[in-house]
Amino acid sequence: MSQHLVEIRSAILFAEYLQSLGIQRHELDREQEIYLQDRHLATVQCIQGELRFYLRANALARS
């Protein structure tokens, strides 16, 4: 994976940050990719049975 990801260790902070970027409420209970229009902003991955939350580094720079 060549994209640079920043892990957010709190589901609440992750959800609040997504909301600040203009993303409406998301269910964060499964693996998924999160986009705003055509821009990839974040991902939720299941690693060793635990959900982990990541923001794209370039999404942080543009906020």
Per-residue tens of pLDDT for the chain, all 63 residues: 457 999 999 999 999 999 988 888 778 999 999 998 888 899 999 999 999 999 998 877 654
- Number of structural domains (the chain) is 1
CB-CB neighbours of 63 under 10 Å: 11
Count, residues in the chain: 63
Domain range enclosing 32: 5-62
The tokens for 17 are: 């940050």
* pTM of model > 0.75: yes
